[in-house]
Amino acid sequence: MATKAEEEQQSQAGRHQEVGHKSLLQSDALYQYILETSVYPREPEPMKELREITAKHPWNLMTTSADEGQFLNMLLKLINAKNTMEIGVYTGYSLLATALALPDDGKILAMDVNRENYELGLPVIQKAGVAHKIDFKEGPAMPLLDELVQDEKNHGSFDFVFVDADKDNYINYHKRLIELVKVGVLIGYDNTLWNGSVVAPPDAPLRKYVRYYRDFVLELNKALAVDPRIEICMLPVGDGITLCRRIK
Ligand code: SAM
Ligand code: CA
């Protein structure tokens, strides 16, 4: 008969040992099952190509996972999004998932401080025939958002905003985005479970960047939970995404 210690060891087998894994699910096998049965077989060819290019890049940990890409693509179709924004592009996996979901005259205002990584994925986006929907702005998002907010005609003009950049600024982005998104639709804040570190004990062995941003993510989650201007739904997809529906 197995001892208590052995039972404990067995129940831990197959669980993620390391904070920083891509999935928050209980086991790698379960996540693999999702990818293999429902994500990879339906992944559009350009997204697969971009995913493979990104996998060779040294910062590939930053990319949106394929299951989250599939989720975003369906969500955007469900809300009939036409005018969207993305903060944090990297090589463009979530951007491509968005661009493929929008109608031919749809628009994505995409911002990133780094153009080089965007340009790594751009040929695939062009080949997919959706580059005309993208207006890429190189630079920090904050001044660009301030500029947008200053012009009243941008108020309530976006159907969806995907925020996937510097976590220490999410609260500041939120102050501006809440004016820019239409009442009734959505802002998605990505990585709100921050590698699972939101529940890690204070002395947990976290990677430096995970530890650094954790408090900002915790603060954001608290602020969103009490913001009366939005309804929220935190989903354990990818690294956690909090959907915020503007209600006033
Ligand atoms: N959504 C991307 C994807 O699907 O691959 C991943 C984005 S990655 C997690 C974060 C990105 O935010 C990086 O490309 C980084 O250059 C960008 N970034 C960091 N600080 C920024 C800022 N202040 N303004 C705009 N982009 C920023
Ligand atoms: Ca992310």
pLDDT tens track for 192-207: 999 989 999 888 899 9
The confidence band for 11, taking pLDDT boundaries of 50, 70 and 90, is very low
Given a cut of 50, is residue 100 above it in pLDDT? yes
Q: Which amino acid is at 248?
A: K
- Per-residue exposure over 60-81, b if at least 16 CB sit within 10 Å of its own CB, e if not: eeebbbbbbbbbbbebbeebeb
The confidence band for 23, taking pLDDT boundaries of 50, 70 and 90, is low
**Residue 51 CA, ligand 2 centroid: distance in Å:** 14
73 in ligand 1 pocket by Cβ < 6 Å? Answer: no
Model pTM?
0.91
66 in ligand 1 pocket by Cβ < 6 Å? Answer: no
Q: How many domains does the chain have?
A: 1
Of all protein residues, whose CA lies closest to atom 11 belonging to ligand 1? 88
194 in ligand 1 pocket by Cβ < 6 Å? Answer: no
Domain at 108, CATH number: 3.40.50.150
Task: Tell me whether residue 99 is in a domain.
Answer: yes
pLDDT tens track for 142-197: 999 999 999 999 999 999 999 999 999 999 999 999 999 999 999 999 999 999 89
Task: Tell me whether residue 222 is in a domain.
Answer: yes
- What backbone torsions phi and psi does residue 162 show, to the nearest 5 degrees? -105, 120
**Residue 165 CA, ligand 1 centroid: distance in Å:** 4
**Residue 113 CA, ligand 1 centroid: distance in Å:** 7
Task: Tell me whether residue 10 is in a domain.
Answer: no
Task: Tell me whether residue 119 is in a domain.
Answer: yes
Computed on alpha carbons and rounded to an integer, the radius of gyration of the chain in Å comes to: 19
Nearest-angstrom CA–CA distance, 231 and 59: 33
Domain range enclosing 122: 24-246
Task: Tell me whether residue 176 is in a domain.
Answer: yes
Task: Tell me whether residue 134 is in a domain.
Answer: yes
In this structure, the number of other CB atoms found within 10 A of the CB of residue 174 comes to 20
pLDDT tens track for 107-144: 999 999 999 999 999 999 999 999 999 999 999 999 99
C-alpha angle with apex 173: 168 to 174, nearest 5 degrees?
A: 110
Task: Tell me whether residue 135 is in a domain.
Answer: yes
Task: Tell me whether residue 56 is in a domain.
Answer: yes
Of all protein residues, whose CA lies closest to atom 1 belonging to ligand 1? 89
